[in-house]
Amino acid sequence: MKRRRIALSVAIWLAATAVATAMDTIRTEQRSYSGTLAGMTSQDVTVERLGDKNVVPVNQITAVLFDSEPPQLNVARNAIEGGRYEDAQTALDKIDLSKVQRPEIRQDIQFYRSLSAAKLALRGVGTIPEAGKLMVAFVTDNPNNYHWLEASELVGDLLVANRQYAKAIDYYTNVGKAPWPEYRMRADVAIGQALLADGKALQAAQAFDRVFLQEAKDKAGKVQRLFAELGLAQCLTAQGKTDEAIKRIQKVILELDPENVPLSARAYNALGTVYRKAGKPQDALLAFLHVDLLYFASAEDHAEALANLAELWNEVHKPERAAQAQRLLKERYKNSRWASR
C-alpha cells in the first residue's frame, strides 16, 4: 500500500513538473526567457512568468520556441540555420496543420515555408515569382509577427533578383523604420545596392552615405559600415574613378573578417569589377576566383562572380574555362539576374 502511494505521488509530481515546464521560450545569444507568450509585435516578443514580464527586442532574438509546437518545426529551424533549405521544407511538409491551433505556431510555419522557398529560388530551385508570392503573403498577413522585418528584407531581395528595383526599395524602407541603428544601416546598404543595380550610382551613394550617420555601437554596425564603404567604391567604379575605388576596396579587405562570407564575397566582386573597368583582366580574374573558390556560399555573390568569370576566361583565350563557369552559373543560379545579363 505504501509503495502504491509513493508511486502515485511520483506520478503526480512528474505530471505537475511536465505542466510547469511546458512554456514558450525566447532564445538570444546570451540567454533564454521562458514563460507564457504575452505579446508580439514586429519589434519585440513578450513572455510572462509568475507575474514577471520579459520584453525581448527582435534584434536580440535568435529563435522563439512555442509550447505544444510540432517537433518538425524545430527540425526545420535547425535545418534553416545550417542552410539546408530542402531539409527544412521536408520537415515542414510533415506537419499536419489541422492539428495546429495556436496562431503563432501557424505563422512560424508559414514564415519558414516562405523563407525556404525564397532562399531556394535565389539559388535557382523553384521560381522567384512563386517564392515572392509566398513571402509577400506572409508580410501582408502578419504585420505584428516578429519575423516581419526579416520577411520584408527577403521580399526586397527577391524583387532585386527579378529586377524590380523600385518595389524592392519600398520593402527595404520598411526594414529601415526599425528602432535599431544596425537595421537602419542594413536597409540603406540594401537600398544602395538596389539603386546601383538599377544604374543609379549617384542616388546609391546617397544611400550609402546615410549609413555613416548612424552610430556603429557593435560588430553588426561596423560590418554594415564596411558594406557601405564597398558600396561607395562601387559608385566610384561606375563613375570611372577606378584608382580611388581600388584603394577604398583594398582598405576594406584589410579590415574585414575573412570568416564573414557575404562581406568578403562582396569585397572581392567589387574589386574584380573595378579591375575590369580599369582594363586589368588578370587582376579581375584573381578577384572573382576568390569568390568562386572561397566564398561560394554567398549565392548571389557567387552568381555575380561566375558571370564575370565566364566573360573574363574568354578574354584571356580560355574558352573551356569560360564554358565551365557559364554552365555552373546556369545550373546553380538560373533565377539570378546574373544568369541572364
Domains, the chain, in order of start with CATH, read: 1-67 (2.30.30.100), 69-177 (1.25.40.10), 182-255 (1.25.40), 278-341 (no CATH)
The answer to whether 303 and 197 have CB atoms below 8 angstroms apart is no
pLDDT level of residue 8 (50, 70, 90 thresholds) = very low
The answer to whether 274 and 288 have CB atoms below 8 angstroms apart is no
Q: What's the pLDDT score for residue 298?
A: 92
SS3 197: helix
pLDDT tens figures, 88-142? 999 999 999 999 999 999 999 999 999 999 999 988 889 999 999 999 999 999 9
The answer to whether 49 and 36 have CB atoms below 8 angstroms apart is yes
The answer to whether 321 and 313 have CB atoms below 8 angstroms apart is yes
The average confidence (pLDDT) of the chain is: 92
- Compute the distance between CA of residue 220 and CA of residue 232 in angstroms, rounded to an integer: 19
> Which grid coordinates are listed for 303?
552568381
- Compute the distance between CA of residue 303 and CA of residue 337 in angstroms, rounded to an integer: 9
Residue closest to 191 by CA, chosen among 147, 231, 135, 225:
231
Q: Which residues have a Cβ under 8 Å from the Cβ of 318 and sit 6 or more positions away? A: none
Q: What sign for the dihedral angle of Cα 316, 321, 323, 329?
A: negative
Q: What's the pLDDT score for residue 6?
A: 44
pLDDT tens figures, 159-190? 999 999 999 999 999 999 999 999 999 999 99
- Compute the distance between CA of residue 144 and CA of residue 27 in angstroms, rounded to an integer: 19
Q: What's the pLDDT score for residue 22?
A: 61
